[in-house]
């Protein structure tokens, strides 16, 4: 069975040595009581539960999958017990509103916990990940009565939540959806329609599920302006089953222990959330939460794949080291770690995983500042950074996570392709993360068109200024400065090009989108790696330094700057080539 050890040491380094989480928490009234001891205890407990309860069910859950029988869904053996352990620990409500039974922990901390559970068992964790997003939506847009009724149950894990957007004819274009909502007496509505690809739409982990459903009221405007949002419970308050049922579950490439359902609403009773015809704006609260969460799925997958590839490389004896000093005496072969190309595979994974962990914590910090800070300017700037970087986190984490699982497979060679080693499951499980919650192409379009071209580059400039300030304050190691400065200038020039030419070339934003998102991610990781290297080098000067960890951090940062960050130049060249080469081919010429 594949192994996994929660990255406690690295999480502590990122949170406290690099980002100085305690100082930020002390500065905000809502997080003032959170300190390093509490945070590390939460991370340790979460890691232990992920290792002991979630991980052992990962391979068996994949092999067994979910079962569908006349509308009922059974999760794989052991899932219900592991979920109860998770729920009894209060993990769904870790970041929830204290007034309704949540624990109120900062997002900077909850992203660390999410990564570990996603790494250990994505299928099982998805049930809770959707519930946390549903709770956030209800707490942000629901009535007080709705919050009182549902948030305590969701935080306690006795009720789960879903997000019901997609229909057979309406995928990314939600303006095409047809589910109808007819007013009934009082505050109730009758919903009729079909939703597909609904994660956790039916299961046996809890007795109740709250479905958050996009639908159209009578006489609603056409397109996305005519969409409203409704809460539809599986079980009504009188104990009767509502008229919503699973019509099927999907047979998928991966995440087979996660029930992906077709849901049929046949006059189901529901309750309006927010204002009529404003449902999509409300739903984006949950969608943006899930986008960051699914990004963490990619990060977790990359980490568990790396750990197992590294363990294999340490043990597997194949060939002789190219350097005589690395060869074992009186041995026919050396382990895989002596070979430069295997080191390239592993270092690429390690650099992206640890860079991603720092980026996740940084985005989490901005979410906390935007929500809790009394400084209006700081809160506004943080909210702008979150808006800009959320699509980057979702897409870049999942692209790198998928790449990492494939690189890990490559380390194992043929053994990576067969089931018993677990790597092929990691590849299958993480592949969906590049697709759902808005494909990565859609994330790139959001960043490049809505967040950059239409914004005049304002938010992108705010991010670039953060990197420039780091370069100016003397904390960037001098050997890393030229590469980071070059990447920053490539980002600034590319931003200016997109802003300047998008109006005259309507295809430019779409043509540049994926490259621009990659460039933004590279710059973010290059900045954070320079920051981490600076902190690690300072730590090496202290008495009792954790030498192996800190030297490893420095070496990995050097690798990122030498071998990965230079890709920024190629990305800028592709962006500046415009849309001509992409749009030149006529449809009949494909």
Chain Cα centroid distance, residue 301: 11
CA atoms of 71 and 120, how far apart (whole Å): 29
The active-site residue out of 97, 437, 518, 572 is 437
Crossing angle of helices 279-315 and 122-141, in 10° steps, is: 150
CA atoms of 448 and 90, how far apart (whole Å): 38
DSSP string, 208-220: EEEEEEEEB-TTP
Contact (CB, 8 A) for 466 and 474 = no
Residue 97: active-site member: no
CA atoms of 248 and 246, how far apart (whole Å): 6
Contact (CB, 8 A) for 304 and 265 = no
CA atoms of 165 and 177, how far apart (whole Å): 8
Helix (H/G/I), strand (E/B), else coil: 550: helix
- Side-chain-side CA neighbours of 480 within 13 Å: the count stands at 30
CA atoms of 156 and 549, how far apart (whole Å): 38
Per-residue tokens: 413: 């060679």
Contact (CB, 8 A) for 51 and 118 = no
Contact (CB, 8 A) for 239 and 212 = no
β pairing state of 159-164 and 208-215 = parallel
Beta-bridge partner residues of 198: 261
CA atoms of 4 and 132, how far apart (whole Å): 24
DSSP string, 454-481: TTTTHHHHHHHHHHHHHHHTT-S-GGGH
- Side-chain-side CA neighbours of 268 within 13 Å: the count stands at 32
Phi-psi group of 29: left, alpha or beta (phi > 0 → left; psi -120 to 50 → alpha; rest → beta): alpha
Q: Give CA torsion, residues 345, 346, 348, 354, to 10 deg.
A: 160
CA atoms of 514 and 459, how far apart (whole Å): 18
Helical (H) or strand (E) element with 380: helix 376-412
First to last CA, the chain: 45
Q: Give CA torsion, residues 548, 549, 551, 554, to 10 deg.
A: 160
Beta-bridge partner residues of 47: none
Any idea what DSSP says for residue 167?
B
Closest CA to 154 of 237, 104, 200, 90: 90
DSSP string, 128-143: HHHHHHHHHHHHHHS-
CA atoms of 340 and 334, how far apart (whole Å): 13
Any idea what DSSP says for residue 190?
E
Residues carrying an active site annotation: 437
């Amino acid at each position: 069975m594949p192994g996994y050890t929660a990255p406690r040491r690295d999480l502590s380094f990122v949170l406290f040595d690099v980002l100085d989480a305690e100082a930020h928490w002390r500065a905000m009234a809502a997080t003032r009581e959170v300190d390093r001891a509490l945070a590390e205890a939460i991370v340790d407990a979460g890691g232990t539960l992920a290792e002991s309860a979630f991980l052992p069910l990962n391979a068996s859950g994949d092999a067994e999958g979910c079962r569908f029988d006349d509308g009922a869904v059974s999760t794989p053996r052991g899932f219900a017990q592991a979920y109860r352990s998770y729920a009894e620990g209060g993990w769904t409500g870790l970041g929830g509103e204290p007034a309704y039974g949540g624990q109120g922990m900062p997002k900077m901390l909850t992203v660390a916990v999410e990564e570990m559970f996603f790494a250990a068992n994505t299928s099982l964790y998805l049930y809770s990940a959707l519930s946390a997003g549903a709770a956030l939506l209800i707490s942000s847009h629901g009535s007080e009565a709705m919050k009182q009724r549902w948030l305590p149950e969701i935080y306690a894990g006795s009720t789960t939540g879903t997000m019901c957007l997609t229909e057979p004819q309406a995928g990314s274009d939600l303006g095409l959806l047809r589910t109808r909502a007819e007013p009934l007496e009082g505050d109730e509505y009758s919903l009729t329609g079909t939703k597909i690809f609904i994660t956790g739409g039916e299961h046996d982990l809890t007795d109740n599920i709250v479905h958050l459903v996009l639908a159209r009221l009578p006489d609603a405007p056409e397109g996305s302006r005519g969409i409203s949002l409704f809460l539809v419970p599986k079980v009504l308050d009188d104990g009767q089953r509502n008229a919503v049922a699973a019509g099927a579950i999907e047979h998928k490439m991966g995440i087979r222990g996660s029930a992906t359902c077709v849901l049929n609403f046949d006059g189901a009773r529901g309750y309006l959330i927010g204002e009529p015809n404003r449902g999509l704006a409300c739903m984006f609260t949950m969608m943006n939460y899930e986008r960051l969460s699914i990004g963490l799925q990619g990060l977790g997958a990359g980490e568990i794949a790396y750990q197992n590839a590294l363990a294999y490389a340490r043990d597997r004896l194949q060939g002789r080291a190219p350097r005589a000093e690395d060869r074992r005496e009186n041995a026919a072969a050396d382990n895989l770690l002596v070979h430069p190309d295997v080191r390239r595979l592993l270092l690429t994974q390690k650099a992206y995983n640890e860079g991603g962990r720092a980026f996740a914590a940084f985005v989490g910090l901005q979410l906390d500042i935007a929500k809790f800070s009394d400084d209006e300017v700081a809160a506004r700037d943080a909210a702008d950074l979150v808006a800009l970087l959320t699509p980057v986190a979702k897409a870049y984490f999942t692209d790198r996570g998928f790449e990492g699982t494939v690189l890990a497979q490559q380390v194992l060679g043929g053994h990576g392709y067969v089931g018993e080693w677990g790597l092929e499951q990691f590849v299958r499980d993480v592949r969906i993360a590049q697709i759902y919650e808005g494909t990565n192409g859609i994330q790139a379009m959001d960043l490049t068109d809505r967040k950059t071209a239409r914004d005049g580059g304002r938010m992108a400039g705010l991010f670039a200024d953060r990197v420039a300030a780091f370069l100016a304050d003397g904390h960037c190691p001098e050997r890393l400065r030229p590469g980071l400065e070059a990447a920053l200038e490539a980002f600034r020039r590319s931003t200016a090009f997109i802003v300047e030419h998008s109006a005259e070339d309507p295809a430019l934003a779409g043509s540049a989108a994926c490259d621009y998102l990659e460039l933004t991610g590279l710059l973010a990781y290059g900045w954070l790696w320079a920051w981490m290297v600076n902190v690690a080098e300072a730590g090496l000067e202290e008495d009792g330094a954790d030498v192996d960890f800190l030297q490893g951090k420095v070496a990995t940062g050097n690798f990122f700057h030498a071998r990965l960050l230079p890709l920024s130049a190629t990305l800028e060249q592709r962006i500046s080539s415009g849309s001509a080469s992409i749009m030149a081919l006529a449809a009949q010429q494909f």
